[in-house]
Every structure is written in structure tokens, then in C-alpha cells.
A and B are shown apart, each in its own frame.
Chain A
Amino acid sequence: MENQAFHILDCALIAISTGQKAQNLRELRDQLRDIHPGCLYYHFWGGLLHPHFDDPEFQNDFAVWAWRNMHDRKIAERFAIIDPNNFRDLEDLRRELLEIIEERLYESEHVPWVKSGEEFYFIRSQIVIFETGKEYHDPEGLLETIPNMSLGSIYYHFIDSRRRTEGNKNDFSIWLSNFADSYIKLIEDLDNIDPYFTSLTELRNEIYFVFTHYFKGGA
């Protein structure tokens, strides 16, 4: 049976304010209890596609806010280490956040807070996914196209894919696994790329490096 082609998709995101905000940790907890689940998506993943200061030190907006604005190092570190892909769905992720906050509130003498103007603003997003018309049947053919893929495509196939696929995989690895055992090493190397603590541009370079190394034997 012929293998399916790899269709390159692209995506773009638009942010929407919910108008809800939190000025201290208790308000953050209260808002998180029933905030739109799209906010969790935006603050963990979507921010990568929105203008921002690349701060690979932190991978989600909750950690950045706790560190930079609330100056609560403990909870910032606990937020920062959350890998959203380890949770079955957004509700599980929400419960984890709430537990971390409850724990911190329990051990704090005061409720950590920020000054006016530095509140945490809850944002959700709409994402538009579109076909590029580009398709590849041969994995080596992808090699030349990766450096020219938009950051939206990198996001869709390497980050967003983890929400859509069993085992939280990237789309390249899933497609390559259709070729029996032909590309086991390439799949391993792609799976070993940590998609966090980096920017989309750097991620594109890492993926390109792995493909180049596999097919050309060097960078």
C-alpha cells in the first residue's frame, strides 16, 4: 500500500481578551476555577504565535507572571516545570494549576500580590488552520522545505500536534512511522527534540538539523 503524503498545513492565531484579571494569587485561583478552557491553551501554547518577548526560561504565562510581577520564586518555579502535554485534557491541566496554587497559599503567610497595572490578564484565542497545497511523499523531500516553513507550520506540526495525537507526538514522526522501520533513527531524533525552552525559529533550526544529519550525515 502506498504511504500517504505529508500535507503541510499552516496556522495563524488571533488573541481575544476575556476581560478577566487577577491581582493576587487567590484571585488567580478563583478565576482559574471557571475560566474559559481556551485561556489555558493560550497561556500554555498559543502565546508562542503571538508577539512576545522570547523568554525561553519560562514556557507558560503563569510562570512568567509569578516570576516577573508577583516576585514569588517558589510558585514561578512550580508553574514553570509543568509540561502541559502530560495532562489528558485541559481540565486535568486546570486541576494541576489549582493544586499548585492551593499549596502555595497554604504555605504563605501573606497572599502574594502585584501592584495595580501588573495584573494577570486572561486571554483566549482563535486559531485558523489552512492548507498550503504543499505535499511530500518522500521524507528526504521534506529536507529542503523545512527551512522555508513558516513558523505557523512549525507550530502546527510540532507543538499543536501534541494535543491532537496519541502519545503527544509531532506530526513528522507519526508520518515517518508509516514507512515501516525505515526511519526509526530519524523518528527517535525528532522525538528527542524538547519543544520547550526555545523559540519557534530555533525549533525550526533544530528540526532542520535533525533531518540534515540523517539524510546528509552532517549539518
Chain B
Amino acid sequence: MDSLLEQYSRIVGNEVIDHLKQLAHPLKGVKILHINSTKEGGGVAEILNRLIPLKRELGLDAEWEIINGESDFYQCTKKMHNSLQGNRDDIPSALLDTYENTNRRNFERLRSKLEAADFVFIHDPQPAALIRNCNKRKGKWLWRCHIDVSHPYRPVWKYLREYIKDYDASIWSLSTFVQPLSHPLYLIPPSIDPLSEKNIDLPEKEISDYLDSWGLDRNIPIITQVSRFDRFKDPIGVIQAYRLIRNYVPVQLVLAGGGASDDPEGKEVLSEVKAFAGDDPDIHILELPNNANRAINALQRGSDIIIQKSTREGFGLTVTEGLWKGKPVIGGDTGGIQLQVINHYTGFRVNTPEGTAMRIRYLLKHPDIMETMGKNARQFVLDNYLITRHLREYLTLIVAFKFGSEEKIELKLPT
């Protein structure tokens, strides 16, 4: 069996892998600990699932732990998540107590690892308060923010900021998301993994089998949005767009999503979406389990156009996935979608259901343009948004921290 690095070299080229090995050379044995709140569901878990073994293969002593809590804890962190993305959602002090107590309890469980690590990467708000408990920390602590905090609900951000300011640095996906803090504010966009079940090439037969199992007809265009059932993803707006075009072109709409184990609001939104869709046989609402990665892969590959009509978005990894499969993407003009969907090149950015409908009709009318955009899209992801680039930036950041804070750091090979 080939090593992971060998497998990646077949996609990105040997020179990219050699580059990673050389960059990682001075970091052999460095203890790195990543902490988030879920092992499955959501983009963070997907990235960590592959980033950790890759770091290990490069000689770093990397580990990944999760914090766990009761339903009140997840209710609190969901409110935090929504508030940081702009919802005015006050969090009762009892829930904040739960948040702090859960972090304290998890700290006790993970104490030895947290105290011993050279670098601790804390992902998103859920485990952010761990730092307050770790008085004997030896390493550098970095807070990795995966969400769009460009217009947070201030009271909630102020609460969280009291923890974040104690970190040695923070890492943000986009410069527009950054909130002012006195430590270094690194910028690292996330990435997708081309070897994961969700992104690996699939046989045509498997794609067809999946589409058949969902009652989808390959002879009629398939328009798909894959995302959690979350109001910020605007699934209702997608159905509105579909209704604006169905009298002009035959089309099937798929809204596919699962819940993440830290998302209690999903069920409520799903019910609203089902009610709004009614009994239209061409609207397919697929509730997929968190591990249905191959099914999502097949769905994206079997679709003609990928939609991500978010009104707020972190980076939008489902967009990256769609682009990687050579599909044009119609995405909300927000967050990381702005970085990935380049009008007339990889797809279109839209602001309304009307705009979404117009762009779908335009693309379906011009299959040659769809094909060109699809090719651009795949190359764009290959050049910029695969996990190897993400890993390179993490390694660069660690080297920068370990060997000085100057603008230019020159490393010598060991003699």
C-alpha cells in the first residue's frame, strides 16, 4: 500500500510533496494537538481526519482530541455560532455556565496532553475556553476560526474575545472575517481532500446507481445544494429559485444534507423546508447520515449545477467540492464563496432567488459554457484549495513560530 504522501503526489505532483517534506524536516517530533468538538459532520472534522495522518507521516507528533458535552452545551455553542455569524441571539447566563463548566471538565480529562503539547490548535468557539484552565501550558496556543465573524453580534463576540485574546495567535479563513486582536492574525483558507470518500473519482455505474436509488432521472438536469439544514444556507431561497425556472426548463432540485452532532437546530429547519417544498415530485430532499460521503460525492458528480445559496458562509467547502468535480457553482455572494466562485469563470455569485434562477437558466441554455467553467473550476481547486496547500501553510506557520517572528526566516539543512 502506498503511503498517503505517495498517493497525493499522483494528484498534485512530486514537487509539491518534496516541498512539504523539506518544510516539515525541522519539525520532526514536534508535539501538535488539535481540539474540536466533533469527529464527524462538518468541514472541520473532515479536514482534521486527513491532516493529522499527513502530519504524522511527515514526522510530526500530531494528535486530535474532541471535547464532549451535554445537550445544553451544544445549544449554547450553536447560539454562539449563530451570533458570531450575525444573528442577535443572546445566550442566557445558565448556558454560559454550562459552556465554562464543560470546558473545565474537558480540560481535566485532557490536561496532560494540553500541558505537554508544543502547539495546541483549538478549532472554533466550542473548546475556546480550555485555555483559561491551562495555567501550566508549555506550548503555543492558536485559535483556529472556521466561521464568518465579519459582523458578529457584539455581546457574544465580546464574551468569547475574553478567551481568544489569551491565545498566542489566531487563524482565520479570510481577511474579511478577522476581528481586531493584539496577537498575530494568520490567514489560512481551508481545503478539501481529493482522496477522501467525498472527493475521490467514482465509477459512472456507482454514480448512476445512487441517482437511481433516489429516483433521479439523468436525462433531466439536476440542480443540487448540499449543506446542513441551516437558515444561513437559505434552502427556502433555493426552492424559490427552482419555482422560478421550472416553467421554462425541466429540472430536478436536490437539497441534501445531514446534521452535525453539534447542530440541534437542523431538525427544525428541515421541517420548514419539507413543508415549503410540499409534494412536488421534482424536489428531492435527501436526509443523509454524516458518513454518507460516497453518496454525496456521487450526487455532486451526477449533478449539472451545484448551488450554495448561503446568506452567510464560512469558507463554503461544499463549493470547493463542487468545483473539484468540474461543476459550475452558483453561490451566495458572501464569505469564502467570493473567493471561489469567480463570475463567468467558475460560476456565478448571486444575491437573490431571482438571481439564482436567472443563472441556472443561463447555464442550462449554454452547455458549452458549463463545460468550460467546469474545467476552470477543477484546475482552480487543484492550484489553490487542496489539503496539501493547507498543510503547507500550517507547517509554515509552525516553522515561523518556532524559529522566530521575523518577516523572513532562513532555515539551514542540518549538517
Given contacts A14-B396, A16-B187, A52-B384, contact A150 B175 (CB under 8 A): no
Q: Determine whether the beta carbon of B393 is less than 8 Å from that of A148.
A: no
Residue-wise, chain B 177-212 has the 8 Å CB interface mask toward A (1 for contact) of 010110011111100000000000000000000000
Give the residue of B15, B384, B397, B407 whose beta carbon is less than 8 angstroms from that of A150. B15
Q: Give, as a whole number of angstroms, the nearest-CB distance from A62 to chain B.
A: 15
Q: Cβ of A151: which chain B residues have Cβ within 8 Å of it?
A: 15
From 25 to 55 in chain A, residues with beta carbon under 8 angstroms from any chain B beta carbon are: 38, 41, 50-54
Question: What band does the interface of chain B fall in when counting residues whose beta carbon is under 8 Å from A?
Answer: 35 or more
Taking the complex as formed, is B395 at the interface, i.e. its CB lies under 8 A from any CB of chain A? yes
Residue-wise, chain B 382-407 has the 8 Å CB interface mask toward A (1 for contact) of 01110001001101110110010111
Q: Determine whether the beta carbon of A149 is less than 8 Å from that of B400.
A: no
Taking the complex as formed, is B133 at the interface, i.e. its CB lies under 8 A from any CB of chain A? no
Q: Cβ of A50: which chain B residues have Cβ within 8 Å of it?
A: 187
Q: Determine whether the beta carbon of B172 is less than 8 Å from that of A14.
A: no
Q: Determine whether the beta carbon of A14 is less than 8 Å from that of B397.
A: yes
Residue-wise, chain A 128-170 has the 8 Å CB interface mask toward B (1 for contact) of 1111110000000000000011111000000000000000000
Give the residue of A10, A13, A15, A16 whose beta carbon is less than 8 angstroms from that of B22. A10
Q: Cβ of A19: which chain B residues have Cβ within 8 Å of it?
A: 178, 180-181, 185
Residue-wise, chain A 7-25 has the 8 Å CB interface mask toward B (1 for contact) of 0001011111111000000
Q: In the assembly, what is the distance between CA of A54 and CA of B176, in Å?
A: 20
Q: Determine whether the beta carbon of A123 is less than 8 Å from that of B19.
A: no
Given contacts A12-B392, A121-B176, A149-B15, contact A128 B342 (CB under 8 A): no
Q: Determine whether the beta carbon of B178 is less than 8 Å from that of A126.
A: no
Number of interface residues of A (CB under 8 A): 36
Q: Cβ of A125: which chain B residues have Cβ within 8 Å of it?
A: 407
Taking the complex as formed, is B94 at the interface, i.e. its CB lies under 8 A from any CB of chain A? no
Q: Give, as a whole number of angstroms, the nearest-CB distance from A86 to chain B.
A: 22
Q: Determine whether the beta carbon of B23 is less than 8 Å from that of A17.
A: no
Q: Determine whether the beta carbon of B15 is less than 8 Å from that of A126.
A: no
Give the residue of A38, A130, A131, A132 whose beta carbon is less than 8 angstroms from that of B407. A38
Q: Determine whether the beta carbon of B412 is less than 8 Å from that of A131.
A: yes
Q: Determine whether the beta carbon of B19 is less than 8 Å from that of A152.
A: yes
Q: Which of A38, A117, A130, A133 has the largest number of chain B CB atoms within 10 A?
A: A130
Q: Give, as a whole number of angstroms, the nearest-CB distance from B217 to chain A.
A: 35
Q: Cβ of A18: which chain B residues have Cβ within 8 Å of it?
A: 185
Could you tell me which A residues sit within 8 Å of B by CB distance? 10, 12-19, 38, 41, 50-54, 117, 119, 121, 123-133, 148-152, 201
Cross-chain pairs A/B with CB under 8 angstroms, 20 sampled: A12-B392, A13-B396, A14-B188, A14-B393, A15-B175, A18-B185, A50-B187, A51-B383, A51-B384, A51-B385, A121-B178, A126-B396, A127-B408, A129-B409, A129-B411, A130-B22, A130-B410, A130-B413, A131-B22, A132-B18
